[in-house]
Chain A
Amino acid sequence: MAFEEIKAGLAKYTADVEAKLVKNPERANLVPNRLYTPIDLGENFDYMTKLGFPGEYPYTRGVQPTMYRGRFWTMRMYAGFSTAEESNKRYRYLLANGGSGLSCAFDLPTQIGYDSTDPMAEGEVGKVGVAIDSLADMEILFDQISLDKVSTSMTINAPASVLLAMYIAVAEKQGVSADKLRGTIQNDILKEYAARGTYIFPPKPSMRLITNIFEYCSKNVPLWNTISISGYHIREAGSTASQEIAFTIADGIAYVEAAIKAGLDVDAFAGRLSFFWNAHNNVLEEVAKFRASRRVWSKVMKERFGAKKAKSMMLRVHTQTAGSMLTAQQPNNNIVRVALQTAAAVMGGTQSLHTNSKDEALALPTTESVTIALRTQQIVAYESGLADTVDPLGGSYYVEALTDKIEKEAWEYIEKIDEIGGAPEAIAKGYIQKEIQDSAYKWQMEIEKGDRIIVGVNKFTQEEEPPKNLLRVDGSVGKLQAEKIAALKARRDNAAVEAALKALEAGCADESVNLMPLILDAVRAYATEGEICGVMRKVFGEYQPHTTL
């Protein structure tokens, strides 16, 4: 009965408003509905099926029963540049200032399995992250940081096995056993092919390395998140919110299928799968995206893969604010953008968060700007009230309608990708890349036509002085790393290195072998990352990308 009344009321309201639109026109390019009401949820809105309770299936309202009323999200600032010595200083600064977890940024040669001395590394050493060539660098990176006390996330994909092995080896030297280690490796190769670009090997051996890690960690490093299935970079490459979660969950499905095919029990590894979302500018759309993604993943795990454990069905997520939304113009405005994005991630129920710094459209952030970014999280946590109740926007007609819409669009994409033959096939055909590119181009054209306003870029612009005090990475890092590698090769037991690399090569050629123990042996012998990846390159070959426009 009440529903009919609302319908009648809405019809009257709409007629009244529309009669006056000529005199009081609305802005262009708005969301479809002027006003959201219970009608948008439908007369038979089923609270228990759609939302349920926090910590319970389908986890729409969050993965933990009390969310931030117990403890806040992990404030995990992504950092790393120059040498291990420099980055170690930044890590200890962040931990001393209330950062609650580490997040390592590696330079591109490290991410692509080249030593700093490789000709391919020219100009790139220490630029976008820290240069790590061997266990010796890793020991310096975590100097005076107890690995049983801190959780560490590493943005490393194609050579994730090597960097994880280095982390385990550093822990061994600190007297910390692997079963105490907490952290995450990104280890998500599919989105590297589709959107981020730090691939090395072709899909088949890459998927083998990933399932080798799942298996090894389930037995030896049980608290480790073995993958961070990432939508962040898909969104940065230009996708929409729905595409971000759809393509990422499609990648997730491919990893679960590969692991099951390799003989693993779904509940033995699925609880260690984690996700990585972008916190973009449209606050309410982002909140809805987080909620929708949890609902979709829990259904995938329960219905498609027959997972039994609750943990296997939970989409636990790390979030980073959108780097692509930072502007080089009037960079102080970025502080405000990041604050809004932080609010979205928190209302969306993230488990950990990195906030970008105001100067990152120009360079790597300075200590001062990183501090503001960290303080932004602390202000949202302690002062805003957003963290005081669970899923504070649950029940908002608009947010529930948006959550349903994003979920529906995500399922449509997942079905389409299933029809193509799964995410690896959709990437091989360039389908996912094309969808992302089309969205990116549309976004840029909207800005250029003035249909989309970016403050300081295409409206409210002003002349400004070039910014001062940008962080510059010393050009001598490459030379420093080269000296370190030369010294390492002179002092290590080169026969042991050679034997370990030989064993690894044999293991690579035999698909039934789990490569993790062999990589760990090579790392312990101080083989360089380039040597280890070189052996794998030799056996596995290299990925040939699909380039479309």
Chain B
Amino acid sequence: MANIKVLVAKPGLDGHDRGAKVVARALRDAGFEVIYTGIRLTPEQIAEAALQDDVQVVALSLLSGAHNTLFPKVVELLKEKGLNDVLVIGGGVIPDADIPGLKAAGIAEVFTPGTPTSKIVECINANVK
């Protein structure tokens, strides 16, 4: 089976990319093929990158508090592009109270501060066939 391809992306204007980079490297070390977009991308740019690179997973990282707006927007745009099977996960400084709403909007799993990277690996392995 070909490697699972993951796009690690930072939507919005937030420059805190320590977490995104650590996760990207951990996923790469776990055997996934990882593309990191860099910071300050619009949801449109992320969806387009997911389409171009033909990824199975989009992992979003955001620490600025704009997740309720930007995460669902990425999901919406992926769907518009016909990418209905892409697993979208997210992480960052995200209050527990926001998680049900994000899940309802199509974010499969939300990882908050202190999560070991192995949990993210498990989640991807369990959800991508």
Smallest beta-carbon distance B87→chain A, Å: 20
Is B48 located at the chain interface by the 8 A CB criterion?
A: no
B34 with A549: CB separation less than 8 A: yes
Kindly identify, within residues 441 to 480 of chain A, every residue whose CB is under 8 Å from any CB belonging to chain B. Answer: 441, 444, 447-448, 454, 457-458, 466-467, 470, 472-473, 475
B84 within 8 A of A: no
The interface size bin for chain A is 35 or more
Establish whether residues B13 and A120, one from each chain, have CB atoms under 8 Å apart when the complex forms: yes
Judge whether B113 is part of the interface by a CB distance below 8 angstroms.
yes
A363 CA to B18 CA, complexed, in Å: 18
Q: Could you say which of B36, B95, B117 has the most chain A C-beta atoms within 10 Å of its C-beta?
A: B95
Given A363-B65, A466-B96, A547-B36: A324 in contact with B18 (beta carbons within 8 A): yes
- Cβ contacts under 8 Å, A114 to chain B: 13
Q: Given A123-B66, A473-B65 in contact, is the A444-B36 Cβ separation under 8 Å?
A: no
Q: Considering the complex, which residues of chain A in the window 471-517 have a beta carbon less than 8 Å from any beta carbon of chain B? A: 472-473, 475
Interface 9-residue window, one of B37-45, B53-61, B75-83, B101-109: B37-45
Cβ-defined contact, B13 with A363, below 8 A = no
**With A and B bound together, what is the CA distance between A441 and B37 in angstroms?**
18
Residues of B within 8 A of A109 (CB): 13
Of the listed stretches A14-22, A88-96, A191-199, chain B binds A191-199
Decide if B125 is an interface residue (CB 8 Å cutoff): no
Is the CB of B116 closer than 8 A to any CB of chain A? Answer: yes
Docked Cα-Cα span, A448 to B39, in Å, equals 25
Would A124 and B13 count as touching, CB distance under 8 A? yes
- Residues of A91-130 contacting chain B, CB below 8 A: 108-109, 111-112, 114, 119-124, 127-128
Q: Give the size category of B's interface with A.
A: 35 or more
Contact A327 B22 (CB under 8 A): no
Asked whether, in the complex, the Cβ of A108 is within 8 Å of the Cβ of B36, the reply is: no
Residues of A within 8 A of B64 (CB): 108, 124, 127-128
Our pick among B38, B112, B114, B118 for the contact of A545 (Cβ within 8 Å) is B38
Q: Is there contact, CB below 8 Å, between B24 and A470?
A: no
Partner of A549 from B24, B68, B114 at Cβ < 8 Å:
B24
Rounded to whole angstroms, the CA-CA distance of A124 and B66 in the bound complex is 5
Contacts of B28 in A (CB 8 A): 549
Measured between beta carbons, the chain A residues less than 8 angstroms from B68 are 123, 475
The 8 Å CB contact of B114, one of A192, A327, A363, A364, is A327
- Whether a CB of chain B sits under 8 angstroms from the CB of A328 is yes
Q: Beyond A197-B14, A440-B22, A549-B34, is A362–B116 a contact (Cβ under 8 Å)?
A: no
Does A378 sit within 8 A of B, measured CB to CB? no
Could you say which of B25, B65, B69 contacts A441, with CB atoms under 8 Å apart?
B25
Task: Answer yes or no: B97 CB below 8 A from chain A CBs.
Answer: yes
Q: Which residues of chain A have C-beta atoms less than 8 A from B26's C-beta?
A: 441, 444
Interface of B is mostly: loop
Which positions 152-186 of chain A face chain B at CB distance < 8 Å? none
**CB 8 Å contact bits of A304-320 with B (1 = contact, 0 = none):** 00000000000000000
Residue among B12, B22, B38 making CB contact with A123, cutoff 8 Å: B12
**Which residues of chain B are near A457, meaning CB under 8 Å?**
114
Cα distance, A237 to B63, chains bound together (Å): 13
Q: Which residues of the partner chain A approach B25 to less than 8 Å between Cβ atoms?
A: 437, 441, 549
Complex: A111 Cα to B40 Cα, angstroms: 13
Give A239's nearest chain B residue, CB to CB: B18
Say yes or no: A238 contacts B95, CB within 8 Å: no
Contacts of B118 in A (CB 8 A): 448
Within 8 A of B (CB), among A57-116: 108-109, 111-112, 114
With contacts A109-B13, A363-B65 taken as known, whether A549 is within 8 angstroms of B97 at the C-beta atoms is no
Not counting A124-B65, A238-B18, A362-B113, a sample of 8 additional A-B residue pairs whose C-beta atoms are within 8 angstroms of each other reads: A123-B66, A123-B68, A236-B16, A440-B22, A466-B96, A472-B95, A545-B38, A549-B28
Q: Which residues of A contact B (CB under 8 A)?
A: 108-109, 111-112, 114, 119-124, 127-128, 192, 196-198, 236-238, 324, 327-329, 361-364, 437, 440-441, 444, 447-448, 454, 457-458, 466-467, 470, 472-473, 475, 545, 547, 549
Q: Give 11 CB contacts A-B under 8 Å.
A: A111-B13, A123-B69, A124-B14, A197-B39, A237-B16, A238-B22, A362-B113, A440-B21, A444-B22, A467-B96, A549-B21
Q: Which 6 A-B pairs have the closest CB atoms?
A: A197-B15, A123-B69, A123-B66, A547-B38, A108-B13, A466-B96
